[in-house]
Amino acid sequence: MDNFELICPAGTPAALRAAVDAGADAVYLGFRDETNARNFPGLNFTRQDVADAVDYAHARRVEVYVAVNTYPQAGNLGPWRKAVDDAARLKVDAVILADPGLLDYAAKRHPDLRLHLSVQASAANVEAIRLYRDAFGVRRVVLPRVLTVPEIARLNAEIDIETEVFVFGGLCPMAEGRCSLSSYATGLSPNKQGVCSPANHVRYEQRGGALASTLGGFTINVFGEGEQAGYPTLCKGRFVAGAGAGEAAGDGNGPAYLFEEPTSLNAMDLLPELKAAGVRALKIEGRQRGKAYIAAVVRAYREALDSFAAGRVVPRIDLQAMVEGGTQTTGAYTRGWR
């Protein structure tokens, strides 16, 4: 069986070079607009940036995938179709899509363009994956982070297209691609505008000896002295919601994490299980991360994958400094998060 393919994030040209140089097999990125799910100021690529990225990566035998994985709005298909057309023109190796209408457009307009189904499509069963394959010729599906390893194995036994799973980075507790939480506070959502908890709605305030993070004017979290302050997303905020919240916090009162505590996925210890389950590609999350983070995580996974492929013991590489909230988990793969 082929070795794993290591898919790495790039939010900027500098991050792309860091990922390529650290050992990525492929890098995924997005255009600088609402057509991708990381539409943050200062991130993403112009068309010329993508052309340069393809040249840099291909010269080193690394592939480039472009994510066009938000959902076009009625009457405004132009930016999304143009993103697909430009990705094909720039000769990227695959386009990552979620919207069925856009998949249909890409399949008909660019029949030679390789299509991957984004995690934003939340395809997690055989019937859904077969539909995307039959209707649009999708060659790979990125599975949502809600499946156990045995569930992935059963899925792969019944489908004949490649599967890609996340192995490192942030976790999303919602049905991926269907989250509207941040729109309640800011009016902007990941699905339509490509942005979760947009940075221009974020504020940090000193409140006595505490640091408060706010989003759209709402307090999302309050951190005590010496406590690590995270980025304010609604799903990882602490809120007071009656006596139940206090009980969940374990202290009898006060605010609690109602949805999910800050933590990062790290499935490096599960490489044998994921290989046995038939997974083709492993994805590192984090297009909003800097090049130092990208280089460190990609280098660590490259070393682990090379050791695994050679039949050597996979080294226990310390990525503690890279994980959110100082904690890491194998997530739904082992149900360790429950």
CA distance 123 to 321: 32
The predicted model scores a pTM of 0.89
List the structure tokens of 20: 């390529």
Q: Give the pLDDT confidence of 227-258 residue by residue, as tens digits.
A: 888 889 998 899 887 655 445 445 556 788 88
Q: Give the pLDDT confidence of 53-87 residue by residue, as tens digits.
A: 999 999 999 999 999 999 998 899 999 999 999 99
CA distance 116 to 98: 9
Burial class of 87 by CB neighbour count within 10 A (0 to 12, 13 to 18, 19+)? buried
Q: Give the pLDDT confidence of 119-148 residue by residue, as tens digits.
A: 999 999 999 999 999 999 999 999 998 899
End-to-end, the C-alpha distance of the chain in Å comes to 33
Residue type, 72: P
Q: What is the 3-state secondary structure (H, E, C) of 141-165?
A: EECCCCCCHHHHHHHHHHCCCEEEE
